[in-house]
Amino acid sequence: MSDLAPPPLPSPHPLPDQGHWQPLPKRAATLAGIAGAITGAIIIGGALGTLWVVLDMPMRWVGAAAMLLPGALIGFAFGYRRQRRTWWRLDAQGLGVRRDLMWQLETRVPLSRVQHLDLRRGPIERTAQLATLVVHTAGSRFSAVSLGGLDQADAERLRDTLGRQLDQDDDAL
Residues 74 and 138 in one domain: no
**Number of Cβ within a 10 Å radius of residue 128:** 18
pLDDT in tens, 33-65: 999 999 988 887 677 767 766 776 666 666 667
Last residue of a domain, one of 12, 47, 81: 81
Q: What is the pTM of this model?
A: 0.74
Residues 68 and 90 in one domain: no
Residues 114 and 129 in one domain: yes
Query: Could you give the number of structural domains in the chain?
Result: 2
pLDDT in tens, 78-127: 999 999 999 999 888 889 999 987 888 998 988 888 888 999 999 999 99
The mean pLDDT of the chain is: 80
Residues 91 and 120 in one domain: yes
Residue 11 within any structural domain of the chain:
no
Residues 77 and 99 in one domain: no
Q: Tell whether the model's pLDDT for residue 171 goes beyond 80.
A: no
DSSP string covering 49-60: HHHHHHTT-TTH
Last residue of a domain, one of 61, 81, 101: 81
Q: Write the CATH number for 143.
A: 2.30.29.30
Domain carrying residue 147: 86-172
Give every strand in the sheet of 94-100, ordered side by side: 22-23, 86-91, 94-100, 104-110
Burial of 40 (0-12, 13-18, 19+ CB in 10 A): buried
Q: Tell whether the model's pLDDT for residue 10 goes beyond 70.
A: no
